Amino acid sequence: MKHSKEERSLIIMKPDAIQRGLLGEVIRRFERKGLKIIGMKMVRISDVLLDDHYSHLKDKPFFASIKNYMKSAPVVLMVISGVNTVSATRLIVGPTKGYEADAGSIRGDFSLSTQANIVHASDSVESANDEVKRFFNKKELFDYTKPDAPFIYSDSYPDFKG
Ligand code: ADP
């Protein structure tokens, strides 16, 4: 990362996004915001990675159900990058419960469920760094310049070169 305020976020397009044909819709919302996609792949998430990723929920009664749901189809993993990426992506995604999420957010537009809520996005800079390392190795992340950055960030971050 070239800029001190640049952040990454791990995005997971969950099994319901694939089953419902919503991958393009989800990717499009991050792209049109101006965020940079620096990694993307399709995987079936292993038990080990799920235990790690959802360790904060391991004592919840719905933990086994989340794991079954996350393993029910492949997922698409994406790393996105930009200034203030974490807060911007959480707003684009919306809160956990799809039926309470504002229209215009991904969950608000496409989910009526708490569990099947289409997408995961890292909730802090610290967890983003851990999550990116959990799912991607260095060779799977790409460093390139996005030439529209001066129009996207403008006077807010004039020294950010994309
Ligand atoms: P978020 O994904 O919004 O950051 P959490 O980290 O609290 O939310 O939960 C992780 C995921 O676990 C949620 O996105 C959802 O798929 C599932 N989940 C959370 N709470 C529940 C619940 N009460 N019942 C079923 N699934 C849940």
Residue 114 within a domain:
yes
Which residue in 97, 74, 77 sits closest to 8, CA to CA?
77
pLDDT of 71 reads 98
Q: What count of other Cβ atoms lies within 10 Å of the Cβ of residue 151?
A: 9
Residue 32 three-state SS = helix
pLDDT tens for 123-153 read 999 999 999 999 999 999 999 999 999 999 9
User: Going by CA atoms, what residue is nearest to atom 26 of ligand 1?
Assistant: 115
Above pLDDT 90, what percent of the chain? 95
Residue 53 within a domain:
no
For a mutational test of ligand 1's pocket, the pick from 89, 115, 123, i.e. the residue with the most ligand atoms closer than 8 A to its C-beta, is: 115
User: Going by CA atoms, what residue is nearest to atom 16 of ligand 1?
Assistant: 115
Residue 48 within a domain:
no
Residue 104 within a domain:
yes
Residue 56 within a domain:
no
Residue 145 within a domain:
yes
pLDDT tens for 18-54 read 999 999 999 999 999 999 999 999 999 999 999 999 9
pLDDT of 5 reads 86
Range of the domain at 118: 6-43+75-156
We report the CATH number of the domain holding residue 145 as 3.30.70.141
Residues with CB under 6 A from ligand 1: 57, 62, 66, 96, 114-115, 117, 120, 123
Residue 26 within a domain:
yes
Residue 162 within a domain:
no
Tell me how many domains the chain contains: 1
Instruction: State if pTM tops 0.85.
Output: yes
Give CA–CA dist 28/14, Å, rounded.
16
Assigned token pair, 129: 């760094």
